[in-house]
């Protein structure tokens, strides 16, 4: 079938809107008519080759839509179901069997290789292969092929055009709090970098009853957004003499939990240094391969923990419906941070994401 898609053809160059061919679903695949797809920092760094995803490629990994057709072996969903597409995992390795699919041993190849496991691709341009299967979906398109394993059925009453980001960025930030750090009511947390991932963490911290929720960012618009969705304090490092001391002052000596979303080694150090003894820092920010960070070993020695977090430590089939319930109960204000763009305006959306004009762009297929 013919689809309309945004194609990344060269590193750091604009996406191109093109008509491509998409094959019919294989037995374990699901054809989804995409309604909306979040534009994530990971899409942009893969386009720009921080991670070596082969080009040309159709990226996009936060898609939501309606199932249009299913392969002969699919039982989880049927045509007409509303779904969110998330990351894909093998289901067979030790991590998957232990309920930790974000740490699947095949995670990189399944999500970033640009191919199916058998090295084929479902997308072509006049017979020439175009890399796809990005996070098992490549949803910068009006139709996407996902796997049965990475589609999550959601409530038909939920606003499908908003739900795509639950598949990655929003579940990453919210899951970091709800699944990874497990803060108790009355505890304190600081989030360094309040783009969409950080704001999702702020919302989740508010849901669980953290009473000191500190947002740190250089962009005033994001700090304002953080306060709207649950932050009790907002700090701009550019106007704060010592951000570590400022966090310690607000928390009576140190924060219970911190999250680093910026991928900056300097900020990562601050996120660790501001912890109370026995505090936990979660690392979310995706840095370029080979990026290193350093710490005072004695800071870590005194009971502090640094924890890497992928995809919010979530099991998408279980966690995404919980987030949908929170949205429907008006307890997780996702709409507050979303700005919608037509697919044809993907380059404007990318620019607005990078300069902070939009916190969470979502591409709608129309």
Query: What are the tens digits of pLDDT across the range 312-361?
Result: 999 999 999 999 999 999 999 999 999 999 999 999 999 999 888 999 99
Where along the chain do its domains lie?
2-167+333-364, 173-309
Handedness of CA 296, 301, 303, 308 (dihedral sign): positive
Domain 173-309 of CATH type 3.90.1150.10:
no
Average pLDDT, integer, range 300-307: 96
pLDDT number for residue 1: 96
C-beta separation of 311 from 147 below 8 A:
no
pLDDT number for residue 115: 96
**How far apart, in whole angstroms, are the C-alpha atoms of residue 258 and residue 188?**
9
**How far apart, in whole angstroms, are the C-alpha atoms of residue 164 and residue 156?**
14
Confidence grade of residue 289 (pLDDT, cut at 50, 70, 90):
confident
The CATH superfamily label for domain 2-167+333-364 reads Medium-chain alcohol dehydrogenases, catalytic domain (3.90.180.10)
The pLDDT of residue 18 is above 90: yes
Average pLDDT, integer, range 211-223: 96
pLDDT number for residue 51: 87
List Cα–Cα distances, 71 to 78, 203, 321, 341, in angstroms: 10, 37, 24, 31
pLDDT tens-digit series, residues 174-191: 999 999 999 999 999 999
Q: Do 173-309 and 2-167+333-364 have the same topology in CATH?
A: no
pLDDT tens-digit series, residues 141-156: 999 999 999 999 999 9
Confidence grade of residue 218 (pLDDT, cut at 50, 70, 90):
very high
The pLDDT of residue 203 is above 90: yes
- What share of the chain has pLDDT > 70, as a percent? 100
pLDDT tens-digit series, residues 39-83: 998 999 999 998 889 999 999 999 999 999 999 999 999 999 999
pLDDT number for residue 25: 97
* pLDDT mean across residues, the chain: 96
pLDDT number for residue 287: 86
List Cα–Cα distances, 268 to 170, 176, 194, 225, 263, in angstroms: 20, 16, 14, 22, 7
| Cis status of the peptide bond prior to 297, with omega within 30 of 0 | no
C-beta separation of 160 from 82 below 8 A:
yes
pLDDT tens-digit series, residues 100-128: 999 999 999 999 999 999 999 999 999 99
Average pLDDT, integer, range 297-313: 96
pLDDT number for residue 210: 98
C-beta separation of 6 from 15 below 8 A:
yes
pLDDT tens-digit series, residues 190-200: 999 999 999 99
The pLDDT of residue 286 is above 90: no
Average pLDDT, integer, range 23-32: 97
**How far apart, in whole angstroms, are the C-alpha atoms of residue 214 and residue 327?**
22
């Amino acid at each position: 079938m013919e689809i309309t898609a945004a194609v990344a053809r060269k590193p750091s160059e604009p996406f191109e809107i093109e008509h491509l061919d998409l094959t019919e679903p294989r037995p374990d695949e699901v054809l989804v008519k995409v309604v909306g797809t979040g534009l994530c920092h990971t899409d942009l760094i893969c386009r720009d080759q921080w991670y070596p995803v082969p080009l040309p490629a159709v990226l996009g990994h936060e898609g939501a839509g309606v199932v249009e057709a299913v392969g002969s072996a699919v039982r989880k969903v049927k045509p007409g179901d509303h779904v969110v597409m998330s990351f894909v995992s093998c289901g067979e390795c030790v991590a998957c069997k232990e309920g930790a699919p974000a740490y699947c041993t095949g995670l990189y190849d399944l999500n970033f290789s640009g191919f199916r496991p058998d090295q084929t691709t479902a997308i072509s341009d006049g017979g020439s292969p175009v890399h796809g299967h990005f996070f098992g979906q490549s949803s910068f398109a009006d139709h996407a092929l996902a796997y049965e394993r990475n589609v999550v059925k959601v409530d038909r009453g939920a606003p499908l055009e908003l739900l795509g980001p639950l598949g990655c960025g929003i579940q990453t930030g919210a899951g970091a709090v709800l699944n990874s750090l497990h803060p108790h009511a009355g505890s304190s947390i600081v989030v360094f970098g309040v783009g969409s991932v950080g704001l999702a963490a702020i919302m989740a911290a508010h849901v669980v009853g953290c009473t000191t929720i500190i947002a740190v960012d250089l962009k005033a618009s994001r700090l304002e957004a953080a306060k709207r969705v649950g932050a009790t304090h907002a700090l701009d490092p550019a106007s704060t003499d010592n951000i570590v001391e400022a966090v310690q002052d607000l928390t009576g000596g140190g924060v219970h939990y911190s999250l680093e979303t910026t991928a900056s080694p300097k900020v990562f150090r601050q996120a660790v240094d501001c912890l109370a003894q026995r505090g936990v820092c979660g690392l979310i920010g995706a840095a370029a391969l080979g990026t290193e960070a350093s710490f005072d070993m004695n800071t870590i020695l005194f009971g502090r923990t640094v924890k890497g977090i992928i995809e919010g430590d979530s099991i998408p089939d279980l966690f995404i419906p919980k987030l949908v319930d929170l949205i429907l109960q008006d307890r997780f204000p996702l709409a507050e941070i979303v700005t919608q763009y037509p697919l044809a305006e993907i380059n404007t959306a990318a620019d607005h994401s990078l300069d902070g004009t939009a916190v969470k762009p979502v591409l709608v297929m129309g």
